[in-house]
Structure 1
């Protein structure tokens, strides 16, 4: 071992020990649990089986839940990126005082409790909520539009909740772009759209990557908002895991779904990292 690395390892060892005890140990304890069978009315059987994992692939219900979770994660990420990039670009281009004020406005919703924000969207999107009542009063619709307990309600509510994370990751990346590079492009008679597509966007790829990964991971693992805006019937992987552990008490199925969610997250993160790195390098 290099003597120079020993002090760093000693300093990091308490944190590594805490991480192992608090995070790694519970995960490792769920590995044998996920390989057992749950018998209704009896409990967890001592028999070993891979059925909890194979059912995620073979069972149509589980496949629908996994696909719904992926669609939700990619949809929220895309919406946050499309809305967050122009806002982050404007914040990064503003003066110090305006930048501080706009950043505080972006951070302010995060100071409110997640449950309160979700209830706010319920009041807006319910069948007798503010949006439907306004549309009916204006004569634009005859009956309320179903905006909750479906993908639309989750996309709207979760995009609002996770948009600040995307903006806060993009602003430093855009600010880090050297101004002289853009100035040189303007000197060579490049138009603003050309400078944006050829310089600003590729050089902000690290922020896009970090923000997209963060929002995607938070979206597919979110529990409170999908439970409140999706209801008991529109399930995603996180709410299904919650129900397996605390309602049906099928802990082996919940543990297997938890590992599937973790593997899915790592796979998407790895693939997106490689794609965005190649895109940034090619650009």
Structure 2
């Protein structure tokens, strides 16, 4: 005797009454077997990822990197930048800059500053351009070979414009720009936008490795993980909007004091 079928309100036939997964053992065993195979594949990939992590983890940061070169070659201008107003690139970058300057006696250093430091304004720290001149003097480079450019507004985009204007006045000069290694790609996007293709072709980016991590071991320390995250954030922002939408304006100490609300009288 055939099992009666139950129909829904639309008249479509559904499963026969009394028919269950037990009447189709192949269908019941299919799902557990598929899930088991998926879990084994995921576990195998995880184990392989852990074993060979030194091979694939460096690939994650390659889109961020600037090319590193211990011997960038001859150049007419070396561009050194302080992004925060109270620190300079590593000693390795200073020594490479000094080597270029010794190789070309007519070469100069262009110094730009991203944001003026409050500590410098208060006189706690000396100006970074003087720190750079002192550091290069230890390598035998006279201070007058360091030129400071001061754009009207703060930020890498405006600094790049100031350097581009200098290069337009000196059409036969080539530039070596020392940049943080993990910020190389985002920096190149900003420079190309600010300088234009013709001037940007005369700029060579040289990545300065971080003293705590590199592309080969960035996952081993917190600074490396943070540097990778920040590098990708800057890269995404530089892809979307290389030029600042709103021009940042540095505040003087008087402006900063005026922004502090006064305490209400008791």
Report the TM-score range of the alignment, normalised by the length of the smaller protein.
Answer: under 0.3
Q: Which one has the bigger helix percentage?
A: 1
Q: TM-score scaled to structure 1, two decimals? A: 0.21
Q: TM-score scaled to structure 2, two decimals? A: 0.22
Q: Which one has the bigger strand percentage?
A: 2
